[in-house]
Structure 1
């Protein structure tokens, strides 16, 4: 059986977590400072919620969300269009042997939180919880 690029074990290693957090912080700084030469991207306020790296640290997936959750596809398109420049700028601020390939995805954490709150607010669920 072929070995997957993604860690299917108990979870990411300490090194993966540390590098992911470094990339998340640096990417947030780059996007906030407007270091990318794309006016469409620089006018957007984008939150970087999480970054996950593969075990070999060659691919980093950044989970992002535009402020207010509006224009998600437009933000993803702008990030993907400028991926190579973002990678170049990120690599200057990180002390890694190789700059990882950056992929972007929408962070759906807040949507899941809203759905969970909605479920707990449902009368049937509230009744079941109160009966315990």
Structure 2
């Protein structure tokens, strides 16, 4: 039986993850060094949180956020406006057969973390977490081996 090279697990392949991380690092360097000559991109530090690459490695979506989150839409517009220059700068340093098309989205992971922190700080949640017998006084299903 021949091995299938397709990723049937639903998640990204090791190659996608590796290429995404290489692109993320290079984009971060380009932005940090001010290699793109756009005053808007040089006015504030920009975090590149993650880069997701399509299975064929021809499309890369970078999730970006300016420091403090202020002016995110303006920064996103500037990134999109300079996507060809960014693509060229990334490709110049990476040994890839094709230079992936770059797309940019706002990174919302920080908002999601803040929402999770707020939820965990709610009285009803802390009460359930701190309860000695579990959320409803039911100890069945709890492992006493811990």
Name the TM-score, length of structure 1 as normaliser: 0.91
> How many corresponding residue pairs?
126
Asked if 1:41 corresponds to 2:34, the answer is no
Partners in 1 of 2:125 and 2:116 — Cα distance?
11
Summarize the alignment of residues 6-45 of structure 1 with structure 2, pairs less than 5 Å apart: 9-45=9-45
Summarize the alignment of residues 1-132 of structure 1 with structure 2, pairs less than 5 Å apart: 9-131=9-131, 132=134
Partners in 2 of 1:8 and 1:109 — Cα distance?
26
- Relative distance call for 1:85 and 1:8 in structure 2 (3 A) is farther
Shift of 1:38: 1.0
Gaps of 5+ in 1: 1-6
Shift of 1:9: 3.8
Shift of 1:39: 1.4
Name the TM-score, length of structure 2 as normaliser: 0.83
Gaps of 5+ in 2: 1-6, 135-146
Q: Which has the larger radius of gyration?
A: 2
Which of the two has greater helix per residue? 1
